[in-house]
Amino acid sequence: MSVLKFDEVDYEVVNERLKRKIIYTDNLMSVLADFQGGPWPGQDPPHNHPHEQTSYVADGEVVFYCEGEPEQYLKAGDFFAVPPYKMHAIKLLSSTARIIDNFTPVREDFLKK
- Which regions in the chain score pLDDT beneath 50? none
In this structure, CATH architecture of domain 12-110: Sandwich (2.60)
- Name the pTM for this structure: 0.94
Number of helices (H), then strands (E), in the chain:
0, 9
pLDDT at 2: 84
| Domain-wise residue ranges, the chain | 12-110
Q: DSSP secondary-structure letter at 67?
A: T
Are the C-beta atoms of 100 and 32 separated by less than 8 Å?
yes
pLDDT of residue 1: 59
Contact 86, 54 (CB under 8 A): no
> Which of 24, 28, 94 has the alpha carbon at shortest distance from 58?
94
